[in-house]
A and B are shown apart, each in its own frame.
Chain A
Amino acid sequence: MAAITETVVIDAPIEAAYGAFADLDRWPAILPDTLDVQVLYCDGYNQEFTMTVERPGGQETVRGVRYCRAPYELELVQTTPPPLLKRMTGRWNFVEQDGRTTVTATREFELLAPPAGDPAAAPVPDEAEFGRRLSGHLQHNLQLFREAVEADVAR
Chain B
Amino acid sequence: MTTVSPTAGLTIDTHPGFAHRTVQTLVIEAPLDAVYGALFEVREWPQYLPHVQEIDVRYDDGRYQEFFMTVASETDGSQLRVRSIRNCRPGEIEFFQPEPPEFLKHHGGIWRFTQAAENPEHTHVEVTHVWNLHEEVAPLVYPATDEASTEEQVTTMLAGHSKLALDSWRKVLTGKGGE
Q: A residues bordering B, Cβ < 8 Å?
A: 14, 40-41, 43-46, 48, 65, 67, 69, 72-73, 75, 77, 79-80, 87, 89, 93-98
Chosen A-B contacts, 17 in total, with CB atoms closer than 8 Å, are A43-B15, A44-B15, A45-B17, A45-B18, A46-B85, A69-B7, A69-B10, A72-B5, A72-B7, A77-B64, A79-B58, A79-B59, A79-B64, A93-B7, A95-B2, A95-B3, A98-B1
Q: Is B25 an interface position by the 8 A CB rule?
A: no
Which residues, 16 to 65 on B, are CB-close (under 8 Å) to A? 16-18, 58-59, 61, 63-64
Known pairs A41-B98, A43-B132, A87-B61; list 8 more (Cβ under 8 Å). A41-B99, A43-B15, A44-B17, A67-B87, A72-B5, A73-B5, A77-B59, A79-B59
Asked whether, in the complex, the Cβ of A89 is within 8 Å of the Cβ of B3, the reply is no
Query: What is the CA–CA distance of A98 and B3 in the complex, to the nearest angstrom?
Result: 9
Which residues, 101 to 139 on B, are CB-close (under 8 Å) to A? 105-106, 108, 132
Q: How many residues of B contact A (CB 8 A)?
A: 29
B142 to chain A, nearest CB (A): 20
Binding site of A, secondary structure by majority: helix, strand, loop or mixed? strand
Q: Is B90 an interface position by the 8 A CB rule?
A: no
Query: What is the CA–CA distance of A65 and B94 in the complex, to the nearest angstrom?
Result: 13
| Closest A residue by C-beta to B106 | A43
B146 to chain A, nearest CB (A): 32
| Closest A residue by C-beta to B58 | A79
Assuming A65-B64, A77-B61, is B3 touching A43 (CB within 8 A)?
no
Chain A residues in 8 Å Cβ range of B63:
77, 89
